[in-house]
């Protein structure tokens, strides 16, 4: 096929610009060209995902595209105009500048992004809109990444001359100089007379006068205020000019002296430093933080009360930053980290570590922690920390919602590398156990790890687990001991999946019946067949043939037992046919259904549009197929659908006997009013009497192809079909509908219907221990995680078993509520019953140290997530250090909480601290007195 150029052309015999196949090739070529030459400043366009998916299905780029090469692509209706109206807020804004997107839209959920040339071509073909152009920006320091800035910075410009307010939309990567030009052009001002303040929370924080600085580096946040002041030339400092570098201090509000502040943002503390927490910690002679700086909010609480410096400071939401606020509040209430960062940690900052951030992340976090623990604050804006985070972790830049666990993982790892006491990491060759005892090998692995990684994070937050791999072929066992920073525990519903499949009888012995079974989420078709076999009481002489039904046809047979279940989407329709165990040696007969009228001729029908119901599948007993054989087989599988009022019992028995099978038939039939009647009383006005006398009336059957286009009529004679293709098409007129109950072949249930299965998915609450046991259970590796066996010299699907070996003082537990795969996205709101006190993990730890630690933990913080995948909200519960009181941290709002209300189905990250063994109490006494309670 000749690929058309990007201008497209008219296809022969078509009024459309291009065929679906041509459209697909043009868009793919334009997309490849754009991605190959992507650069900063390129334009991409936001397109409604609903429209985009319709177009993908139309051209064959959706889930069926992999079959298009086989000629099986189903022709779907051409999409209408591009409709982005659901993505925008109020159309043209007050200034008439551009459209404002709905907040919290998610790529892949609400919209997709297409390059400029692709948008032009789609607009040419389909029209519609509105246009939503967005620019490509470059992010990151160590690794540059190109990203489309879907949500530019939205600033509220307040004109000090008349107090009017305007909205400015500008890239966060734009410079301060560009902001001045934008504002002055909008208000027709001379740039030399303009002065713009960072007016966050309507407070003059500082003048924006570093013209080479980006707005992100200037810590401007989404929806914040900026203040414009305009003054005559004679009143304006002559040094303030975009082309000079005069005395900028003349324009910057002075802060209290920081002469005693170290590089880490805190004072140098004497060796007599107190280890307690609370207000007294912050009131020593050598410790004095300014009570207000550029990031502070108001010093007075919403209720007028002062904060007493015990860590009850809230964090402003800077635009979808609740995920960050939640994780930070949990960390800043972690006692060892608070003690560490309130001291002078400047000597441990590692600026030479190529894996770190030159100490900048640790300094930013330390400064933020100090502010949160200083007195006289209600809430602060973590703008400097957010800017530093965006600089080193571009994935968290912008104003989209993110995952608090992903942030926590980055932050702990980044703090470790910035504070790593090892300047020059030694090269250590990885060795095998070589039959050595686990204790010896584990100690060696931990010693090697500590030789390269030594920081406060390793001291308190890292543990060690044992990983055992076993080759399924040669039984080779490989043992490794690896460090961990947190435990990611699966919920029961994240490792299993509920699937509904309709089972059909291939021999006419039963009506279709849907079965809902539980299978491994990363299992294969073999697991599904095994579960269905048990549920439907499959006979030893039967097997199940799985198939996907789409558009009233068998779209594909799932005959490979090792095909991954992840290829089956929730919205698909899967059926299973009960067939003989030797079916692979018999001719298959697939029966499709078409709505028609027996009195109209074939050319008057639109064949494709008339297909209906679910195909039936059976197998024939011989290779020489006659018309009579096909009619008998079709009548057999249709037998369960026979309406009770259609035939007398004697004729039913005759039909069943002649066909060799069929349902058991009762001698009593019901009339319309429900009274009992004999068969002779039934009306046969709609049936030919001679056909009834001879049993079943003749069915309208024809040989067909996979698309349902009929070819040759099949009569009830003994003529042999030498080229029998295995598919027949049955025409259903009013007569067939009176004869059979077709409703059993309609309305197939989807594989998973969230609304229908809601009660089933919200099972009884699971415990934290059951999640841990699922995590530690031996299981085979996934098909994408094959292990290279050193003995077989091949990649094998080995079994893997994890065991806890060392536990850290601070144990972070991540409940895996979010699951992502190629086809499935899901969030589980399952309530996990976790202990607040006395979480005893002693029975799960395989290593018994010489100087034993306690394996009992108490909860001190929780990161919560409310809502679904497309947005939601994060909050935190935290227990005050050295006090028995809980508080709820909801961004800038802080409120007391009762212990009995902190256990909810929103719990996402659990923070535990080890209960140290009392020197007067043995480990056995500790374990017995601290039994786990959920």
- Are 4 and 27 in contact by the 8 Å Cβ rule? The answer is no
Question: Distances in Å between the alpha carbon of 569 and those of 57, 65, 108, 138, 698?
Answer: 15, 15, 16, 35, 39
Best CA proximity match to 251, nearest among 175, 183, 176: 176
Q: Got the DSSP string for 816-874?
A: E-EEE-SS-EEE----EE--SS-EE-GGGB----SSPPP-EEEEEEEEEEES-TT--EE
Tokens linked to 82:
């591009």
Contact 663, 740 (CB under 8 A): no
Q: Residues 18, 184, 322, 461: which is the catalytic one? A: 322
Q: Is 648 helix (H, G, I), strand (E, B) or coil?
A: coil
- Cα–Cα dist 389/418, whole Å: 13
Helix pair angle (322-331, 404-418), 10° resolution: 50
Asked about 322 being catalytic, the answer comes back as: yes
Q: CB–CB of 815/832 below 8 Å? A: yes
Q: Which two tokens stand for residue 493?
A: 């519903």
Long-range contacts of residues 761-764, Cβ cutoff 8 Å, at least 24 apart: 761/493, 761/498, 761/828, 761/830, 762/829, 762/830, 763/492, 763/493, 763/830
Determine the Cα–Cα distance for residues 772 and 530; give it in Å rounded to an integer: 27
Burial class (CB in 10 A: 0-12, 13-18, 19+), 880: middle
The answer to whether residue 873 is catalytic is: yes
Q: By C-alpha distance, which of 80, 86, 81, 82 is closest to 101?
A: 86
C-beta of residue 816 within 8 angstroms of C-beta of residue 502:
no
197 - beta bridge partners? 207, 227
> Dihedral angle at the C-alpha atoms of 118, 120, 121, 124, nearest 10 degrees?
160
The distance in angstroms from the start CA to the end CA of the chain is 66
CB 886 within 8 A of CB 899: yes
Question: What strands lie across the sheet with 553-557, from one edge to the other?
Answer: 513-520, 496-505, 573-580, 542-550, 553-557
- The tokens describing 435, both together, are 């039959």
H helical segments located in 132-245: 176-187
Cα torsion 19, 20, 24, 27: sign: positive
Count other C-beta atoms under 10 Å from residue 193's C-beta.
15
| Residue 402 contacts residue 322 (beta carbons within 8 Å) | no
Phi/psi-derived region of residue 79, left when phi > 0, alpha when psi is between -120 and 50, beta in every other case: beta
CA atoms of 17 and 846, how far apart (whole Å): 68
Q: Are 659 and 639 in contact (CB under 8 A)?
A: yes
Q: Quick one: CA dihedral 373, 379, 385, 390, positive or negative?
A: positive
Beta strand residue intervals within 61-163, DSSP E = 82-83, 88-92, 99-101, 111-115, 128-129, 133-139, 145-148, 153-159
Question: Residue for token digits 């006005």?
Answer: 685
CB contact at 8 A, 765 and 832:
yes
Active site residues: 322, 873
């Amino acid at each position: 096929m000749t690929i058309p150029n990007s201008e497209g052309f008219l296809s022969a015999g078509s009024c459309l610009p291009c065929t679906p196949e041509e459209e697909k090739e043009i868009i793919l070529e334009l997309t490849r060209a754009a991605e190959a030459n992507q650069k900063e400043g390129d334009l991409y366009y936001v397109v409604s995902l609903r429209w985009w998916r319709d177009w993908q299905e139309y051209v064959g780029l959706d889930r069926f595209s992999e079959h298009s090469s086989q000629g099986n692509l189903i022709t779907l209706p051409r999409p209408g105009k591009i409709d982005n109206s659901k993505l925008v807020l109020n159309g043209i804004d007050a200034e008439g500048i551009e459209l404002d997107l709905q907040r919290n839209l998610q790529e892949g959920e609400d919209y997709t992004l297409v390059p400029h040339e692709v948008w032009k071509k789609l607009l040419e073909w389909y029209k519609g809109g509105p246009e939503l152009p967005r620019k490509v920006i470059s992010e990151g320091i160590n690794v540059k990444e190109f990203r489309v800035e879907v949500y530019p910075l939205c600033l509220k410009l307040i004109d000090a001359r008349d107090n009017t307010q305007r909205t400015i939309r500008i890239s966060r990567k734009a410079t301060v100089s560009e902001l001045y030009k934008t504002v002055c052009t909008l208000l027709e001002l001379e740039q030399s007379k303009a002065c713009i303040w960072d007016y966050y929370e309507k407070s003059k924080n500082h003048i924006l006068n570093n013209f080479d600085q980006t707005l992100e580096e200037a810590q401007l946040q989404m929806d914040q205020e900026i203040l414009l002041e305009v003054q005559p030339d004679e009143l304006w400092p002559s040094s303030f000019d975009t082309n000079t570098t005069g005395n900028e201090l003349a324009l910057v509000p002075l802060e209290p002296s920081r002469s005693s502040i170290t590089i880490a943002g805190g004072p140098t503390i004497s060796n007599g430093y107190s280890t307690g927490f609370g207000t007294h910690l912050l009131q020593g002679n050598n410790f004095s933080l300014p009570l207000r700086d550029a990031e502070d909010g108001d010093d007075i609480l919403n209720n007028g009360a002062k904060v007493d410096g015990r860590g009850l400071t809230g964090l402003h939401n800077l635009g979808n930053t609740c995920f960050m606020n939640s994780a930070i509040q949990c960390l800043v209430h972690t006692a060892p980290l608070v003690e560490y960062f309130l001291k002078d940690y400047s000597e441990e900052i590692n600026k030479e570590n190529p894996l770190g951030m030159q100490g900048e992340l640790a300094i930013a976090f330390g400064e933020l922690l100090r502010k949160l623990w200083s007195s006289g604050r209600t809430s602060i804006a973590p703008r400097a920390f957010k800017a530093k985070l965006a600089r080193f972790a571009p994935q968290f830049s912008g104003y989209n919602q993110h995952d608090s666990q992903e942030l926590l993982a980055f932050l702990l790892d980044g703090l470790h590398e910035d504070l790593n006491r090892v300047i020059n990491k030694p090269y250590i060759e990885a060795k095998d156990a070589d039959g050595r005892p686990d204790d010896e090998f584990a100690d060696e692995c931990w010693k090697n790890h500590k030789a390269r990684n030594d920081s406060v994070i390793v001291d308190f937050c890292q543990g060690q687990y044992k990983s055992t791999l076993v080759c399924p072929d040669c039984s080779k066992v490989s043992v490794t001991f690896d460090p961990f920073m947190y435990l990611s525990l699966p919920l029961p519903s994240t490792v299993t999946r509920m699937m509904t499949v309709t089972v059909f009888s291939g021999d006419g012995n039963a009506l279709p019946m849907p079965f809902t079974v539980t299978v491994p989420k990363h299992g294969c078709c073999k697991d599904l067949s095994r579960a269905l076999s048990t549920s439907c009481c499959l006979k030893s002489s039967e097997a199940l043939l799985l198939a996907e039904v789409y558009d009233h046809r068998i779209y594909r047979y799932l005959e490979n037992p090792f095909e991954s279940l992840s290829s089956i989407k929730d919205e698909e329709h899967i059926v299973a046919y009960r067939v003989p165990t030797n079916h692979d040696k018999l001719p298959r007969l697939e029966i499709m259904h078409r709505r028609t009228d027996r009195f109209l001729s074939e050319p008057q029908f639109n064949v494709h549009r008339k297909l209906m119901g679910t195909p039936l599948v059976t197998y024939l007993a011989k290779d020489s197929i006659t018309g009579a054989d096909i009619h008998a087989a079709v009548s057999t599988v249709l037998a369960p659908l026979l309406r009770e009022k259609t035939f007398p019992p004697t004729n039913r028995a005759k039909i069943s006997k002649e066909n060799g099978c069929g349902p058991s038939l009762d001698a009593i039939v019901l009339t319309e009013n429900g009274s009992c009647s004999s068969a002779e009383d039934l009306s046969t006005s709609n049936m030919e009497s001679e056909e009834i006398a001879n049993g079943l009336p003749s069915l309208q059957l024809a040989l067909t192809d996979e698309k349902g286009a009929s070819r040759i009529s099949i009569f009830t004679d003994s003529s042999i079909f030498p080229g029998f293709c295995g598919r027949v098409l049955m025409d259903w007129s009013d007569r067939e509908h009176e004869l059979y109950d077709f409703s059993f072949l309609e309305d197939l249930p989807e594989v998973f219907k969230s609304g229908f299965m809601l009660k089933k998915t919200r099972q009884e609450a699971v415990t934290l221990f059951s999640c841990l046991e699922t995590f530690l259970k031996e299981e085979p590796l996934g098909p994408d995680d094959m292990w290279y066996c050193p003995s077989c010299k091949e990649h094998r699907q080995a079994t893997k078993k994890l065991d806890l070996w060392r536990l850290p003082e601070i144990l972070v537990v991540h409940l895996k509520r979010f699951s992502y795969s190629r086809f499935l996205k899901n969030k589980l709101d399952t309530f996990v019953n976790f202990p607040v006190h006395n979480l005893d993990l002693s029975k799960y730890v395989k290593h018994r140290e010489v100087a034993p630690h306690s394996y009992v933990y108490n909860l001190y913080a929780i990161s919560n997530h409310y809502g679904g995948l497309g947005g939601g909200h994060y909050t935190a519960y935290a227990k005050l250090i050295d006090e028995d009181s809980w508080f709820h941290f909801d961004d800038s709002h802080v409120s007391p909480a009762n212990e009995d209300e902190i256990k909810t189905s929103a719990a996402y990250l659990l923070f535990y601290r080890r209960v140290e063994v009392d020197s007067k109490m043995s480990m056995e006494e500790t374990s017995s007195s601290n039994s786990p309670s959920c």
